[in-house]
Structure 1
Amino acid sequence: MKREWVFGGAVLGVVLATVLAAVLLPGALADRSEPQPDGEVRMEEISISAAEVGGERLTLATDVRLEHTEGISENVTVELRAVGLDSALVETSETIDVGTVDETSEVSAAGRLRVERGGSYRIEAIVYRNGVRTTTGSKTVRGTEALTPGYPDSPVEFHRFARHDFPAIDYEITDSGDDSATLDVETYVTNGGEAPTDDLTLVLKARQVDSGIVASEQEIDVASIGSSQTARPGSELTVPSGYNYYLDAILFEDGVVLDTARSGASLDPTERVQANETERDVELEVGDFDSDDQPDRDERESADEDGEGDADASDGAGPGFGIAVVILAVVGLGLRARGHTGGKQ
């Protein structure tokens, strides 16, 4: 009986010792199998695309494809560098943390490099495992100056009339005086996209043709334009009378220029003829185009009956031929009288 108790106590002691060893010394019962070998990392390809194109700089989206085989690879990183082909200087760089790869698979390491538009670059990819370089690859990028900024690709623009060459800007003279005229300017803006517009701003400017001076300017918020819809935003511009103007329209979205348009507004009653560099009166009066202050037909007819039109025609200010006709008549009479005298002889 004593021998059984002694044997049982020995077994219990071994069990307790094993439990205590597992708690106090976790590594004592650890798997003593062979450690996994380091995996092999190879570079398959580098793909590059233009993600964001600005006026001066662009972003290159780079995707480095790695093939991992066998074992395990810890602390895998990829360093991306953009090296100028002309200067051989590193323009910018980025490090991508891939982490631990423990299976046979293809791994993607995506990064972004911001460079100047117009340059040529060699994009280098260097793969590290635990800080040790394992493989490298590169790809050349040229002709970035041909990449246009992203904002011209916007589906929102001033309308282009297909069948007739109508301007995208119309104007109406709503008020005029000796010193100033008010123009009601209207534009045509079309949203060719699939989503409504947002954060659109329209800037209208009246620029004097000869000097380029901006005589008037207005900035207005454009209401949302639905898909495949055309809106007609506009505003009033007050300018000095007696000059010709360019009407410039600039369309912004969230502070970026989307499109521009230009039309002309002729308020100068003098037209320059380029053929002989002379000037002729085209009898344009700004008041004739007032939408609210035009004289009635009865008033104009009564003025004609009073003889005001004849007075204007006889004073030589208009484009008539009164003086020339008189001179020709005198010359004709003289020639006729001479002819009669010759006949009598």
Structure 2
Amino acid sequence: MDTRTALLAAAAALLVVSAVGAVAAPDAISDPRETNEPPGRIDIAGATVAPGEVRGETAELRLGTDLRHRGSTVENVTVRHRAIGSESGLLADETTVDVGDVDFEGERTVNGTVTVDREGGYRIETVVFADGERREQQTTRVAGVAALTPDYADTQVGFTDGSVWPTVAVSVVEADNETATLSTSISVTNRGDEPSEDIDLRLLLRQAESNVIAAEATETVGTVRPGRTDTVTATVEVPDGYNYYVDAALFDDDVLVDETQGVANLNPRETISANQTVRDVEFSVEDFQRGEDGAAGDDAADGAAPDGSTSDDSTPGFGPIVALVALVVAALTARRRQ
């Protein structure tokens, strides 16, 4: 046998032996790169919760889950979020995010959302699955969802909250025996970072003892620069000799966004304070009858009595009744001293 034939026979024998070994021990031949690469692992590195769209009854919570991957590719990864009521333990919402095959090195954020009622608190349970197998889980707690401001009421302009400077200031412009013209100055502040858009300021003046609306006004609060305070002035006319609550409210597209209260003391014998409960007394309704223009009625302005007769020496409001009560009190006081 020559040398060439011998080499061919040896090569053939080697191939046969290799084939038999591969069949008998398939793991004996492998890619050396695979033996050095660790198995794929994925876990949760961190999680965040941020408010999304906030509506009247519900709020959207935006969930960010930081996935950390090491090793070979992890196939068919999904992230499931469940929002569970902290007190009730009931499932409020559930969502699953399909991530797919994970082969990146390091960390990556996977975003998801759940929608919950705008009240109470919630427990957010996040679970990572790979091919349907649970790999990692984490729980995040959220409280104070009711404090989130709905998008339709999201404005940075509100009434100024000062310890000395009054939020509601009232001054008398003109007065006679029947009516008083009042100038109300309302302070508003932009607490945001951008100039504000126009909103409405609405005023109601309520007679203190009866809650009867004596006058009302609406003014526009124009653009207020960030961090600045502006004053809005409105003029109203009310029957003189009474005390009034000045109710002020800010409306953005007919949505109430802020409210405050002041007082106007026009009765020198008795004063009131904001948010104070006062005793009920009788009052003259005709003084608060308003015409089509919202001012006091013509009968009251002309001194007309309830029965339609006129009296030149009539006094507004509680005059006759207060005089009668004063006489009774004086008589009782004198009797006690005797």
Structure 1 length normalisation: TM-score?
Answer: 0.56
Matched, 1:171 2:152: no
SS at match of 1:86: coil
Mapped to 2, the partners of 1:199 and 1:97 lie a distance apart of 44
What corresponds to 2:68 in structure 1?
A: 67
What corresponds to 1:139 in structure 2?
A: 139
- Quote how far apart the aligned CAs of 1:80 are: 0.9
Greater CA deviation, 107-116 or 44-53? Answer: 44-53
What corresponds to 1:101 in structure 2?
A: 102
- Quote how far apart the aligned CAs of 1:98 are: 2.7
| Letter aligned with residue 210 of structure 1 | E
SS at match of 1:201: strand
RMSD: 4.3
What corresponds to 1:248 in structure 2?
A: 247
Mapped to 1, the partners of 2:86 and 2:191 lie a distance apart of 40
Mapped to 2, the partners of 1:86 and 1:47 lie a distance apart of 22
| Letter aligned with residue 206 of structure 1 | L
Task: Check 1:272–1:122 CA distance in 2 against 1; reply closer, same or farther (3 A cut).
Answer: closer
Matched, 1:125 2:126: yes
What corresponds to 1:289 in structure 2?
A: none
Mapped to 2, the partners of 1:113 and 1:80 lie a distance apart of 8
Matched, 1:204 2:224: no
- Quote how far apart the aligned CAs of 1:104 are: 2.2
SS at match of 1:126: strand
Query: Within 5 A, what are the aligned runs for 1:8-19?
Result: none
Mapped to 1, the partners of 2:154 and 2:266 lie a distance apart of 36
Q: Which 5+ residue runs of structure 2 have no aligned equivalent?
A: 1-30, 273-278, 282-322, 327-338
What corresponds to 1:303 in structure 2?
A: none
Mapped to 1, the partners of 2:55 and 2:213 lie a distance apart of 28
SS at match of 1:188: strand
CA contact (8 A) 1:80 1:125 kept: yes
- Quote how far apart the aligned CAs of 1:245 are: 0.9
The alignment of Structure 1 onto Structure 2 pairs a total of residues equal to 245
What whole-Å deviation, never above 9, does each CA across 1:68-94 have from its counterpart, x for those lacking one? 233334553322111124333211122
- Quote how far apart the aligned CAs of 1:106 are: 1.4
What corresponds to 2:159 in structure 1?
A: 158
Task: Check 1:94–1:238 CA distance in 2 against 1; reply closer, same or farther (3 A cut).
Answer: farther
| Letter aligned with residue 67 of structure 2 | L
CA contact (8 A) 1:37 1:72 kept: no
| Letter aligned with residue 87 of structure 2 | D
Mapped to 1, the partners of 2:170 and 2:195 lie a distance apart of 27
What whole-Å deviation, never above 9, does each CA across 1:225-244 have from its counterpart, x for those lacking one? 12343222122333344421
The structure having more radius of gyration, on CA atoms, is 1
- Quote how far apart the aligned CAs of 1:223 are: 1.0
Q: Which 5+ residue runs of structure 1 have no aligned equivalent?
A: 1-32, 280-316, 320-345
What corresponds to 1:235 in structure 2?
A: 234
CA contact (8 A) 1:53 1:148 kept: no
Task: Check 1:256–1:57 CA distance in 2 against 1; reply closer, same or farther (3 A cut).
Answer: same
Structure 2 length normalisation: TM-score?
Answer: 0.57
What corresponds to 1:339 in structure 2?
A: none
SS at match of 2:184: strand
What whole-Å deviation, never above 9, does each CA across 1:31-74 have from its counterpart, x for those lacking one? xx999999443233333345677786544332212122333345
CA contact (8 A) 1:52 1:150 kept: no
| Letter aligned with residue 220 of structure 2 | D
